[in-house]
Amino acid sequence: MLTPRSTPAGAGRRLLALCLACALSLWPRPSPAHPHGWVDVTVRVQMDERGRVEALQQRWRLDPFYSQLLLEELRAAQGEASMEARLDQLGVEIRHNLSPQHYFTHVTRDGEAVALGEVDEFTTLERDGRVVLMFRLPLAEPLPLDQAAMRYRIYDPTYYIEVLHEADDEAPRPDALRVTGADCATRIMAADPDPAKVAEAATLDRTEQAPEGLGRFFAETGEVRCDLP
């Protein structure tokens, strides 16, 4: 099995980016149970001048283990490029691999799927030893919320990587989901997976491919309601 030190630098970055996007890893993990990594996420719901949702501004903080692997690989890479430039290139690769999966983001209104656009801003940086991804994911069309709430879930379909809102003492932080441009109510609902799904996830090790869609059973749900009075 390859390790970060035995993999050429460029290939290592591509493999790690692909790992994040496709929930596949080549690197050893400290525990055989799912999930094998996690992302702490915050979401800013951006509204247009007519009070319609136009985009989800997201910030992902990769877990310390993933971050360490990525940063060590970037530092070990040959060449004169600055760390900032190397992080930018990593962001390009991650964006390329996450785009076909709509950045693990699923949006609905009144139970119906909402079409998403393509990310138009993407930044990769390091903060306090963790790799941070920030991007703006627009909806395909502005979405009015005067008749029904919008809900979203962000999850890796195979549950290899767990995505949770930023939390304090296991409770989502008040700023983990906010709305800009309108006065709307928000809430984050915890997942409530069937015990059989929990057992199924726990029995999978890193050499096994989880069934497609397993991750949705463990996904938190963000809700934004902007009903007219």
Query: pLDDT, tens digit, for every residue of 166-200?
Result: 999 878 999 999 999 988 999 999 987 666 666 66
Averaged over 155-164, what is the pLDDT?
86
Averaged over 69-77, what is the pLDDT?
91
Grade residue 87 by pLDDT with cuts at 50, 70 and 90: very high
pLDDT of residue 228: 57
As a whole number, the mean pLDDT across the chain is 81
Averaged over 113-118, what is the pLDDT?
97
Measured at the CA of 103, the angle between CA 102 and CA 104, to 5 degrees, comes to: 90
Residue 50 has pLDDT above 50, yes or no: yes
- The span from the CA of 66 to the CA of 64, in Å, is 6
- The span from the CA of 104 to the CA of 180, in Å, is 22
Q: Among candidates 164, 181, 169, which has minimal Cα distance to 222?
A: 164
H or E element, residue 16: helix 9-22
Phi, psi of 203 (to 5 degrees): -85, -10
Averaged over 31-38, what is the pLDDT?
63
Residue 14 has pLDDT above 70, yes or no: no
pLDDT of residue 173: 93
pLDDT of residue 198: 63
Contacts 24+ apart (CB under 8 A), 124-129: 124/87, 124/88, 124/90, 124/91, 124/94, 125/84, 125/87, 126/67, 126/71, 126/83, 126/87, 127/61, 129/64, 129/67, 129/68, 129/71
Torsion of CA 129, 171, 222, 174, to 10 degrees: -80
Better-predicted residue by pLDDT, 10 or 196: 196
Amino acid at 222: G
Q: Which of 160-164, 184-188, 220-224 has the lowest mean pLDDT?
A: 160-164
Averaged over 123-146, what is the pLDDT?
96
CB neighbours (10 Å) of residue 219?
A: 23
Cβ atoms of 97 and 22 closer than 8 Å: yes
- The span from the CA of 136 to the CA of 123, in Å, is 10
Grade residue 205 by pLDDT with cuts at 50, 70 and 90: low
Grade residue 229 by pLDDT with cuts at 50, 70 and 90: low
pLDDT of residue 5: 29
Residue 4 has pLDDT above 50, yes or no: no
Residue 55 has pLDDT above 80, yes or no: yes
pTM for this model (two decimals): 0.81
HSE-CB of 38 using CA atoms within 13 angstroms: 14
Cis amide bond preceding 100, omega within 30: no
pLDDT of residue 25: 35
Better-predicted residue by pLDDT, 154 or 13: 154
Percent residues over pLDDT 90 in the chain: 57
Distances (CA, A) of 202 to 109, 115, 171, 195: 32, 32, 23, 11
Percent residues over pLDDT 70 in the chain: 75
